[in-house]
A and B are shown apart, each in its own frame.
Chain A
Amino acid sequence: MDDDTTEQWILGVLRRYEEPLLRYATALCGAALAPDVVQDTLLRLCRQREAEVRDHVAQWLFTVCRNRALELRRKQYGDAELDEDIAIPAARLPHATLERQQLLDHALAALQELPARRREVVVLKFSAELSYREIAEVTGLSLSNVGVILHEALKQVRERLREKGVLEEAPRSSGELPQANSKTRSAP
Chain B
Amino acid sequence: MTREQAHERLEAYVLGELSATERERVEEWLAKDAAMEQDFRQLSELTSLLGEGLRGKPEAPLPALARARIRWRAWRPLGRSKAVFALPLTAALALLSVFVGPVDLEPNSVGDATASSVVEPPAESKVQAVESAEPPRAPSRSPRKRSPIAAPSADPAPANRGRFDSFSSPESAAPRVNGFRSAEPSRGPLSPASEQGRFLDADAEPVSTFSIDVDTASYARLRETIQSGRTPSRADTRIEELVNYFHYDYPAPTGRAPVSISVDAARTPWDSEDSGLVRIGLRARDPGPRSTSNLVFLIDVSASMTPENRLPLLKRALGTLTRELDARDWVSIVVYAGRTAVLLEPTRGSDHEIILRTLEGLSPHGSTNGSGGLQMAYDLARRHFISGGVNRVVLATDGDFNLGIADPDELQQFIERQAQSGVFLSVLGFGASPSGDERLDRLANHGNGNYAYIDGEQEAERVLSQQLRSTLQVVAKDVKVQVTFDPDEVESYRLIGYDNRRLQREDFANDERDAGDLGAATVVTALYEVKTRREVNARKLLSVDVRYKLPTEESSRLLQGSGPSQFVLFDAAPRDLRFAAAVSAFGMLIRGYPDTGTASYELVEQWAEDAIGGKDADERRQFVDLVRAVASMRTCAPPYFLQNGVRRVKPECL
Contacts and interface: CB of A to CB of B under 8 A. Distances in A.
Interface in A26-62: 26, 30-36, 38-40, 42-44, 46-48, 59-60
A117 B172 contact: yes
A154 B53 contact: no
B340 to A, nearest CB: 39
Given A31-B60, A173-B35, A43 B70 contact: yes
A132 B55 CA distance: 18
B18 interface: yes
A107 B47 CA distance: 10
B133 A36 contact: yes
A139 B18 CA distance: 20
A167 to B, nearest CB: 7
A58 to B, nearest CB: 12
B284 to A, nearest CB: 25
B95 interface: no
Nearest to A147: B12
B351 to A, nearest CB: 50
A184 B166 contact: no
B13 interface: yes
A47 B77 contact: yes
A83 B164 contact: yes
Contacts of A19: 57-58
A132 B60 contact: no
A131 B505 contact: no
A47 B152 CA distance: 30
Given A31-B154, A81-B168, A103-B49, A26 B59 contact: yes
Contacts of B60: 22, 26, 31-32, 34-35
B233 to A, nearest CB: 31
Given A31-B60, A126-B55, A187-B13, A63 B49 contact: no
B422 interface: no
A173 to B, nearest CB: 6
Contacts of B509: 81-82
Nearest to B50: A126
Interface centre among A43, A107, A123, A132 (most CB of B within 10 A): A43
A30 B50 CA distance: 20
Nearest to A3: B77
Contact of B189 (A72, A138, A168, A176): A138
- Range for the number of chain B residues in contact with chain A: 35 or more
B101 interface: no
B31 A184 contact: yes
B165 A40 contact: no
Contacts of A44: 203, 487
B70 A10 contact: yes
Interface string B40-66: 101110111111111111111111001
Interface string B60-98: 111100110111011101110000000000000000000
Q: Which of B14, B66, B156, B204 has the most chain A CB within a 10 Å cutoff?
A: B204
A18 B70 CA distance: 11
Contacts of B71: 11
Contacts of A71: 206
A81 B3 contact: no
A181 B607 CA distance: 77
B62 A38 contact: yes
Contacts of A183: 31
Interface stretch (B175-183, B215-223, B252-260, B328-336): B175-183
Contacts of A91: 52-54, 56
Contact of A145 (B58, B59, B182): B182
Interface string B9-26: 111111111100001000
A14 B506 contact: no
Contacts of B39: 170-171
Contact of A82 (B32, B38, B133, B168): B168
B289 interface: no
Nearest to A28: B157
Contact of A137 (B70, B148, B190): B190
Nearest to B32: A176
Contacts of B42: 158, 167-168, 170
Most buried by B among A76, A140, A175, A179: A140
A93 B35 CA distance: 30
Given A22-B62, A176-B32, A31 B186 contact: no
Nearest to B177: A148
B403 interface: no
Contacts of B13: 187
B165 A116 contact: yes
B206 A40 contact: no
B366 interface: no
B14 A187 contact: yes
Interface in B207-228: 207
Contacts of A187: 13-14, 16, 18, 23
Contacts of A136: 187
B487 A59 contact: no
B52 A182 contact: no
B149 interface: yes
Contact of A43 (B11, B63, B127, B182): B127
B166 A89 contact: no
Interface in B281-319: none
B506 A82 contact: yes
Contacts of A157: 46, 50
B409 interface: no
Contacts of B53: 91, 93, 104, 107-108
A36 B439 CA distance: 49
B42 to A, nearest CB: 7
A112 B160 contact: yes
B273 interface: no
B554 interface: no
19 contacts: A22-B58, A31-B60, A31-B152, A31-B155, A39-B66, A42-B70, A43-B122, A60-B190, A67-B207, A82-B506, A115-B172, A125-B15, A126-B54, A142-B183, A150-B11, A154-B43, A154-B47, A175-B34, A181-B34
Q: Which 7 A-B pairs have the closest CB atoms?
A: A171-B35, A22-B58, A177-B34, A32-B152, A116-B165, A10-B74, A39-B66
Given A23-B55, A90-B156, 16 more contacts: A3-B75, A11-B74, A26-B157, A33-B133, A47-B73, A64-B203, A84-B165, A87-B156, A108-B50, A127-B54, A140-B188, A145-B175, A151-B10, A185-B40, A187-B16, A188-B16
